[in-house]
Structure 1
Amino acid sequence: MCSVPGPGAYGEVVSVGGDQAWWRRYPRVVDVAVVLVALFLTLGMMRFAGRPPTRRVLGPVDYGYAAAACAVLLVRRRWPVGVLVVTVLLAVAHGAMREHGPQFLPGQVALYTIAVARGGRAGLVAGAVLLAAAGTTQMVVAPEELSLGAVALVTSTGLAVAAGTGVRTQRAYVATLEERAVRAERARREEAARLVGEERVRIARELHDVVAHQLTLINAQAGVALYLHEGGQGEPAGLVETLSHVKDDSKQALAELRSIVGLLGTPDVPREPVPGLDRLDDLAASFARAGLTVEVRRRGEARAVPSAVDVSGYRIVQEALTNVSKHAATGTARVCLDYAHDTLKIVIADDGAGRGPGGGSGRGLIGMRERAAAVGGEVTAGHRPGGGFLVEAALPLGDQ
């Protein structure tokens, strides 16, 4: 008998990227750091720009441009295209007011942001606009530095677009992995819930079979004891024997209940073997003590059957005989096991005249059909033409 799968039976989802990196948790800190680094590099490049590189004295216009162009980078995540336009316009205006070529480093930071947010195609278009503006300004302001500045500008612009596109691709890949992990976790939880539901149905079916069978016997035996007592026919020995059967059957019912409940997670509860078709004679004897004579016959070569079929067959016979004892108003029943090549056929028949005093909800027949379907078989049940009731089950044996 299988137990209910625990929470860890299906594994745990491992986070794709672990804990979120600090630069993703604190984006404003990163933006401020980017502004400070860009400001430092922009001032340095303006101070040592030109060919040959010489140290230049920066004036208020230079510091003003660097501060304004870098400060606008604080909102680059929200408006990347607008920030690129502003930084390019500031660079062009600054280049027109000084004797050397403009610096487009803040614009390249904005270009990187566009590639991250909009993709490589948008980054290439924005990079072409930046290069066109930079080239035009350089030709007007400092044409003697055009060759060297053009190579550096094209290289740095290409790196900005490539870096932004790579970061975008990496983030999309991580997002895909995380989505797959979430879907896998959801699927595992749904599968665990489905298995738990099936196990609950199986345990409920086991409880129904055990309780219905044993209580039917106890009820019949208690009725016999009451009849002997009220009729005065009895000798104490007969009454004691009947009460002894009641005690034995109730003890067996409690033992089976403990075995089933033990599956719910109590490790110290003893678990008895699940009854199978080899215990049909004991089952017939228990019904005989309650006044129902059961004849068990076997056809074909009796052999070991799959455990699931063994348990299902036993429970089907048990439930069918319980229904006979409760509803058929007869004292005899017949059970026949027919071992074919790949199928075990089970027939339970009685000659009862109709429903006995016990009421029923039909749950027993439903349970028999569910047990047979669980192992790939089927159960049919109905009244016999000559009287009585007939239950037939066909259970597959597989390759023997």
Structure 2
Amino acid sequence: MWTAVRCWARQNPVIVDLALVGVVYLCTLIAFGARFSERPSAHPMATDALLAAAATAPLLARRRAPFWALGIATAVCVIVQATGGEVAPLITPLSVALYNMAVRTERRTAWTAAAVTAACTIGPAVLWAPGLLLGPQRLGALTWIGLATALGDSVRSQRAYVKALTERATRAERNREEEAARRVTDERMRIARELHDVVAHELTLITTQSSISIHLGQRDPAVLVDNLVAIRNHSKQALDELRAIVGLLTQPGDGATPRDPVPGLHRLEELVASFARAGLRVEVVKEGEKQSLPSAVDLAAYRIVQEALTNVRKHGGVDVARLRVGFGHDAVRITVENSGSVNAAAPDNSASGGTGRGLISIRERTAAVGGQVVVGRRPQGGFSVDARLPFVRPVRMAEQPSGVGR
């Protein structure tokens, strides 16, 4: 109910101002009439009505000109007292003007205006009217001036507090939306990396083995059968990994959650064997004592090896690659090298059909676990990928940009 009234008042400010001025004017006239019944006023009733109108009418402009509304009401009070009248009947418009001033201005300004108004209101009474310095009339006027200013200041403070809470809630909601959008983007990029790594690796092996089958199958049926079996196995593995990735996008109840283990360095021998069947021999060197890695680091290490060897198979122009896996006390280091020609190791993207997504994926996976990676040509020829993946994510991540994408 009260909320509806406030909404209506905000939508009809002119009607509210007219009603307020009318009520204040009637209260002022009643106060003048009460004073006249107690003892004759210093002015005729018509003059009192004009003075009441002069003090009340400026309240119509109280929203746009609060200083003028208060100044005119104060001036009328001074005039009334200078001509032998009393300020008590004009307390109502004066209090409304002071309340309006306190609501629409800062605290220091409002209380300064209240002090000036009190001086201008009580000062003439002390000079021109007999009686005690702080008699009942003057003390009552001071009390109303203080109450009106205090009430207006309280309302202003409450409105400022509510506004601050509203802005804070709005800002928090906006931050939540931005955070949700950022998480959606991060998840989309993560899924894109997974899809790229799976498709690029498996299809590269399938394409290579298909080419071998075309050239050697007619002369050696056994090679054809072996390659077809390998193609079938790689296709099945690719479908299983794609099914696992797509399963992450399903909602609860949309189907069974994939139960396949997440790829990691425990599948390194299987990965190397798949490249061997595709014609790339990988020399593996393991250093340090093997440790149990966090799942994110384990997956990143596996995908980095997979993508680096895929690049060698597609672009290196060599049959041998070297893989070094070193386990330290706080990090695992992955190094993949080949001795292919510079042009073959990093061909032009337009000629090879590459998009640069592979090396970007390596850098993104390394940065995601707080590691560093160096990708580029070797001084003695060929190409290398050297990644260091810490077991514990550091406070600040650093990455050494280098190399070019395919």
Q: Residues 314 and 74 of structure 1: is their aligned pair in 2 closer, same or farther, counting only changes over 3 Å?
A: same
Do the aligned residues in 2 keep the contact of 1:115 with 1:165 (CA within 8 Å)?
Answer: yes
2:344 is aligned with 1:347: no
Identity %: 47
- Determine the structure 2 residue equivalent to 1:84: 70
- Determine the structure 1 residue equivalent to 2:214: 226
Which of 39, 61, 68 is equivalent to 1:75? 61
- Determine the structure 2 residue equivalent to 1:134: 121
Structure 2: gaps (5+ residues): 394-406
2:312 is aligned with 1:318: no
2:108 is aligned with 1:121: yes
Equivalent AA in structure 2 for residue 292 of structure 1? L
1:36 offset after TM fit, Å? 3.8
Alignment of 1:1-400 (within 5 A): 21-22=6-7, 23-24=9-10, 26-49=12-35, 59-93=45-79, 103-104=89-90, 105-135=92-122, 138=125, 143=130, 147-229=135-217, 232-235=218-221, 238-264=223-249, 266-267=251-252, 268=254, 270-271=257-258, 272-352=260-340, 355=344, 359=352, 360-383=354-377, 388-398=382-392
- Determine the structure 2 residue equivalent to 1:11: none
Q: Residues 69 and 353 of structure 1: is their aligned pair in 2 closer, same or farther, counting only changes over 3 Å?
A: closer
Equivalent AA in structure 1 for residue 295 of structure 2? S
Structure 2 Cα separation of the partners of residues 392 and 134 of structure 1: 85
Deviation string 1:22-43 (CA, Å, 9 cap, x unpaired) is 3555544543443244234323
1:220 offset after TM fit, Å? 0.5
Deviation string 1:81-100 (CA, Å, 9 cap, x unpaired) is 21223323444555677866
1:159 offset after TM fit, Å? 1.1
Q: Which moved more, 1:124-133 or 1:276-285?
A: 124-133
Q: Residues 143 and 103 of structure 1: is their aligned pair in 2 closer, same or farther, counting only changes over 3 Å?
A: farther
Deviation string 1:290-312 (CA, Å, 9 cap, x unpaired) is 22233444333222111221011
Q: Residues 37 and 273 of structure 1: is their aligned pair in 2 closer, same or farther, counting only changes over 3 Å?
A: farther
1:383 offset after TM fit, Å? 4.8
Q: Residues 345 and 26 of structure 1: is their aligned pair in 2 closer, same or farther, counting only changes over 3 Å?
A: same
What is the root-mean-square deviation in Å for CA atoms of aligned residues?
Answer: 3.6
1:161 offset after TM fit, Å? 1.8
Structure 1: gaps (5+ residues): 1-17
1:318 offset after TM fit, Å? 0.2
Q: Residues 261 and 94 of structure 1: is their aligned pair in 2 closer, same or farther, counting only changes over 3 Å?
A: same
Greater relative contact order (CA < 8 Å, ≥ 6 in sequence)? 1
- SS of structure 2 residue aligned to 1:345: strand
Deviation string 1:341-384 (CA, Å, 9 cap, x unpaired) is 22212232345456289824544334323322322322334455
Equivalent AA in structure 2 for residue 365 of structure 1? L
Deviation string 1:223-279 (CA, Å, 9 cap, x unpaired) is 1222245xx3243x6534433432332332233234334444555364444311111
Structure 2 Cα separation of the partners of residues 175 and 59 of structure 1: 46
Relative to the length of structure 1, the TM-score reads 0.79
Relative to the length of structure 2, the TM-score reads 0.78
Equivalent AA in structure 2 for residue 46 of structure 1? F
Q: Which moved more, 1:127-136 or 1:197-206?
A: 127-136
1:188 offset after TM fit, Å? 3.5
Do the aligned residues in 1 keep the contact of 2:84 with 2:129 (CA within 8 Å)?
Answer: no
Do the aligned residues in 1 keep the contact of 2:58 with 2:68 (CA within 8 Å)?
Answer: no
- SS of structure 2 residue aligned to 1:49: helix
Q: Residues 64 and 396 of structure 1: is their aligned pair in 2 closer, same or farther, counting only changes over 3 Å?
A: same
- SS of structure 2 residue aligned to 1:393: strand
Do the aligned residues in 1 keep the contact of 2:25 with 2:56 (CA within 8 Å)?
Answer: yes
1:385 offset after TM fit, Å? 6.0
Q: Residues 110 and 353 of structure 1: is their aligned pair in 2 closer, same or farther, counting only changes over 3 Å?
A: closer
Structure 1 Cα separation of the partners of residues 213 and 124 of structure 2: 114
Equivalent AA in structure 2 for residue 373 of structure 1? A
Do the aligned residues in 2 keep the contact of 1:101 with 1:141 (CA within 8 Å)?
Answer: no
